[in-house]
Chains A and B, each alone.
Chain A
Amino acid sequence: MKPFVACLLCAFALLFQGRAEAHVLDEYLQVALITLAPDGPRVELRMTPGVQVADGIFAQIDRDADGRISSAEERAYARRVLQDIALEVDGGRASLTVAAMQFPLRQEVNEGVGEIRLDLAAEAPLAPAGEHQLSFRNDHLPELGTYLVNVLVPTTDAIAITRQQRDPLQREFQVGFRVASQARARLRWTDLWPFAICLALVLRGWVKRGSPPVLARPW
């Protein structure tokens, strides 16, 4: 095997080592994982055409039909997917941008294991404290699509998921969540020790002087 080909295969294997799951045949599996981060929601979209629909999906991406997906074709397809995705926070449309994307090679798509991955982000800080709702809808190629959508458990205690609701096909998803006032939510008595030290120093000064100035000379 030529070194270049070997390197290409190695790079490809590394690129797609995370995708090892899909097993659809005549459907276009579209998996969305939503992260509720304090600075805004993120959507990881993993899309895998089944072997029996692979040619049609690949043709929609490879617009010049040269058998490979160029950077321009990647960007164009990502834009198209973005147009088909709707994300709302508290009823207001949250504009998504592509933070990262990965596209498979033709061979992978042919085998039904080619995963297209789009990492999407919205600048919509999840605030203020209180109850909120996020809505997600995926209208990308519904005639072929089969969908999964889930929300990850937040990595911060400040956000708690309170409700989940999906349509029967998992194309629509609503998540209710509560944003806590961080200081109030996390206050512990042990966190008050600086205050206790300051108070002790003030009291010590009063004791040394014989009587608390506040009591000796009321304001």
Chain B
Amino acid sequence: MKRTLTILGLCLSAVLSACWVSRSAVQQGQRADTTPVRAPTVASAQGGAATRETVAAAQAFLATLDDAGRAKIGFPFDSAQKSKWSNFPVGVYPRNGVRWGDLSPAQRDAALKLLSVALSKQGLQKVREIMEGDEVLRASETGHDGPRGEGVGRRGPSFGRDEYYLALLGAPSLTDPWMIQFGGHHLAINLTIVGKDQVLTPSLPAAQPATYELDGQAVRPLGRERDESFGLINSLDAAQQKKAILPYQVSNLVLGPGQDGRTVAPEGIKASDLNDAQQRMLLDLVHEWVGIVNEAAAAAKMAEVGANLPETWFAWSGPTTNDGSAYFRIQGPTLWIEYSPQPSRGSSGPDVNHVHTIYRDPTNDYGARLLKR
């Protein structure tokens, strides 16, 4: 009898153990959403001062608005407004917030001050060059006032530096989460601030024309991105290029607007297969996007990108000569960058003078990771 009970006990314990192990396995197998390849390091900005400056500038800007202006600019932090951004021109894709062209000179100065503390010097310059490029587009034949413009009485795209909108989600705060959203045609800046941490993803800097002349000077809002990427691809040897260059064309952004929270399987060459100099070139290229935000937040993000560098991929599609039109992508556990030349009217295929890019963090878009803490 005792022997039977012992055998039954051992069998029962084995069955229970098997059930438990199986259940644990299923629970672990069904991970929520897109867990990165490696546990990301936390990008904690050394930027308490940056947040204080940004909050002060936001409050100063709000003080220049009347009640109607404040009603237009303000949204709850967790509202659907968060993901309402696009590369499309206003008119095709309406924006919310206060319109740049409707601001008085004093209000515009205050708004610029806010952007200047939220972004780095080169980041603000990039934003202004994108806006000025749209002003050039407005005056061109495809613009609002051009022969292919919307015309009277028709809904259509609106171009130009006035057609950019500033919105604030949540109240500017040193502790509670809030967000600055600024954008229009070919531009979406989404800066989420949670305490001392600041996150610029997702953001979309783009340009058309990608090269234009202003006051006798050639302006290339995304010129460094292009030059550095061609420098990197041409620094690779034949074996490395074979890994990095995708044997197919990529005609558009894969994870552009509306694709929040998604991660596609990586391709290309792993940064661990690059030498030290090439890795530095890759980091410099990444910094063109990361460095749009203020220096403290950018430094924290670059530290994170550097820590995850061995798991970061670089992929290229298109010609490798700098007069060509090529797509590239940089993908890491906490990073997603795409650069995609687009067709223009009259062009056959992707046009070097019309470029879309996207900058994401699949684990931290809109500060998602910070908000889980």
Measuring CB to CB, which residues of chain A are less than 8 angstroms from any residue of chain B? Answer: 13, 17-27, 29, 31, 33, 50, 107, 111, 113, 146-148, 150-153, 155-158, 161, 164, 166-170, 175, 182-183, 185-188, 191-192, 194-195, 198-199, 201-202, 213-214, 217, 219
Q: How many A-B residue pairs have CB under 8 A?
A: 152
Q: Which residue of chain B has its CB nearest to the CB of A206?
A: B6
- A98–B24 CA distance with the chains assembled, in angstroms: 33
Given contacts A25-B343, A166-B246, 15 further A-B contacts (CB under 8 A): A20-B88, A20-B256, A148-B251, A150-B254, A152-B34, A155-B33, A169-B248, A170-B248, A182-B29, A187-B21, A187-B25, A192-B21, A194-B13, A194-B17, A194-B20
Contacting residues of chain B (263-277) with chain A, CB-CB under 8 angstroms? 263-265, 267
B216 within 8 A of A: no
A170: B residues at CB distance < 8 A: 248-250
A148: B residues at CB distance < 8 A: 250-252, 254
Q: Is the CB of B32 within 8 A of A155?
A: yes
- A169–B344 CA distance with the chains assembled, in angstroms: 20
The 6 closest A-B pairs by CB, nearest first: A198-B13, A20-B86, A195-B17, A186-B25, A20-B257, A21-B256
Q: Is the CB of A13 within 8 A of B248?
A: no
- A177–B20 CA distance with the chains assembled, in angstroms: 27
Q: Is the CB of A214 within 8 A of B16?
A: no
Q: Which residue of chain B has its CB nearest to the CB of A113?
A: B92
**Distance to closest chain A CB from B28 (angstroms):** 5
Q: A20-B88, A21-B258, A168-B249 are in contact. Are A213 and B6 (CB under 8 A)?
A: yes
B265: A residues at CB distance < 8 A: 150-153, 161, 164, 175
A164: B residues at CB distance < 8 A: 265, 267
Q: A21-B256, A155-B34 are in contact. Are A188 and B267 (CB under 8 A)?
A: no
Q: Which residue of chain B has its CB nearest to the CB of A52?
A: B345
**Distance to closest chain A CB from B32 (angstroms):** 7
Q: Which residue of chain B has its CB nearest to the CB of A180?
A: B29
B14 within 8 A of A: yes
B29: A residues at CB distance < 8 A: 156-158, 182, 185-186
Q: Which residue of chain A has its CB nearest to the CB of B340?
A: A23
Q: Is the CB of B24 within 8 A of A186?
A: yes
B264: A residues at CB distance < 8 A: 33, 150-153
Q: Is the CB of B9 within 8 A of A152?
A: no
Q: Is the CB of A219 within 8 A of B3?
A: yes
Q: Which residue of chain A has its CB nearest to the CB of B259?
A: A21
Can you list 21 A-B contacts (CB < 8 A)? A20-B87, A23-B88, A23-B252, A23-B342, A27-B251, A107-B155, A113-B93, A148-B251, A150-B265, A153-B34, A155-B30, A168-B249, A169-B248, A182-B25, A183-B22, A186-B28, A187-B25, A195-B13, A198-B12, A198-B17, A199-B13
A166: B residues at CB distance < 8 A: 246-248
**Distance to closest chain A CB from B355 (angstroms):** 11
B224 within 8 A of A: no
- A152–B31 CA distance with the chains assembled, in angstroms: 14
Q: Which residue of chain B has its CB nearest to the CB of A188?
A: B24
A146: B residues at CB distance < 8 A: 251-252
B178 within 8 A of A: no
Contact for A25 among B18, B257, B345, CB less than 8 A: B345
A113: B residues at CB distance < 8 A: 88, 92-93
**Distance to closest chain A CB from B206 (angstroms):** 9
Q: Is the CB of A21 within 8 A of B248?
A: no
- A20–B343 CA distance with the chains assembled, in angstroms: 16
A152: B residues at CB distance < 8 A: 34, 262-265
B238 within 8 A of A: no
**Distance to closest chain B CB from A196 (angstroms):** 9
Q: Is the CB of B25 within 8 A of A156?
A: no
Contact for B257 among A21, A155, A188, A219, CB less than 8 A: A21
- A158–B26 CA distance with the chains assembled, in angstroms: 9
- A160–B248 CA distance with the chains assembled, in angstroms: 23
- A22–B343 CA distance with the chains assembled, in angstroms: 11
B128 within 8 A of A: no
Q: Is the CB of B252 within 8 A of A192?
A: no
Q: Is the CB of B17 within 8 A of A27?
A: no
**Distance to closest chain B CB from A21 (angstroms):** 4
